[in-house]
Amino acid sequence: MFKRISIFLYGLTSYAIFLATFLCLIAFVGNFPLLPASLDGVPRLLPLEALGIDILLLAMFAVQHSLMARPAFKRWWTRWVPVEAERSTYVLFSSLALLLLMVFWQPVGGVFWSAEHPLIRGLLYAVFASGWLLVLYSTFLINHFDLFGLRQVWLQLLGRPYRPLPFKTPGAYRIVRHPLYVGWFIAFWATPDMTMTHALFALLMTTYILSAIQLEERDLQVMHPEYADYRREVPMLAPRFGRSDKSLRNDETAA
């Protein structure tokens, strides 16, 4: 029983760290004066030095985030980490990697555009907020608690076996295959002040996400054979408008 409680508390702690990191990331990207560090700011290093550090930080996050998500790594990793805590450990390491990025991020300087009109600034901040809301909304569509490891540690606390969730395409997943990533793109690119630093961050994160999608979809097709049909019917990121009712019914069947 002690082991079950310990794993459950570990999962809760990992989730709490994720929530704190998520809120910090919103403040960091939005340059809200809530943290000592922010995406934009006064450059402290020469542009090339700052650029090198930022690319290294993003590369470290990308490698951690993608490598630990691969089934082969999970099989190796769970030789030492309890299977029930594997997802919580992934969430914890991803949060720590993001915190490390935010703490050591180096502004580059320079401005591409800056919206001066209050109405335009307010509109861009509203779009920015909608991106973060879409990210959260998408996680709840596919089971937020399973995605962040809480379902796994709760079931083991109760002594019940974990069963992977069936493949389904609720809500926005009938429109695009990756609404969660669409939310990230909106959150990263929607800003009233597009500095060189912000553009660098958004561009590198976009490049990473587009690459990660390929790996993720390869794994999904192995785990869920029906994903191949879903992939043919539903676009990856940009919705198709004016689709027929027959296509929509096919999406529901794939779910």
pLDDT tens for each residue of 37-86:
788 888 888 889 999 999 999 999 999 999 988 888 888 988 888 999 99
List % helix, strand, coil for the chain (3-state, nearest 5). Answer: 70, 5, 30
Domain that holds residue 138: 2-254
Residue 43 CA to residue 228 CA, distance in Å, equals: 47
The predicted model scores a pTM of 0.87
Burial (0-12, 13-18, 19+ Cβ within 10 Å), 90:
buried
Number of domains forming the structure of the chain: 1
pLDDT tens for each residue of 136-168:
999 999 999 999 999 999 999 999 999 988 899
Residue 191 CA to residue 54 CA, distance in Å, equals: 20
Place of tokens 């009712």: 245
